[in-house]
Amino acid sequence: MKRNYRFTISYDGSRYFGWEHQPNTDMTIQGKIETVLKRMTDTDVEVLGAGRTDAGVHAKAMIANCFLDTTMSEQEIKNYVNQYLPDDIAITDVSIAGDRFHSRYNALGKTYRYTCYIGDSKPVFDRKYVYVLDEKPNIDRMKSAASYLIGEHDFAAFCSNPKMKKSTVRNLDSIEITTNGDYIMLTYHGSGFLQHMVRILTGTILEAGFGKRTPESILTLLEEKDRTKAGPTAPACGLCLIEVDYH
Contact 243, 51 (CB under 8 A): no
Interatomic CA distance for residues 186 and 234, integer angstroms: 12
**Neighbour tally for 199: CB within 10 Å:** 25
Phi, psi angle pair for 20, to nearest 5°: -80, 150
The pairing of beta strand 239-245 with beta strand 58-69: parallel
54 tagged catalytic: yes
What span, in angstroms and rounded, lies between the C-alpha atoms of 7 and 66? 8
- Cα–Cα distance measured from residue 231 to residue 149, given in angstroms and rounded to the nearest whole number: 14
The count of other CB atoms within 10 Å of the CB of residue 98 is 11
User: Of 117, 113, 130, 100, nearest to 246 (Cα)?
Assistant: 100
Q: Which of 195, 187, 206, 230 is nearest to 18 (CA)?
A: 195
Of 26, 42, 54, 99, the active-site residue reads 54
User: Which amino acids are annotated catalytic?
Assistant: 54
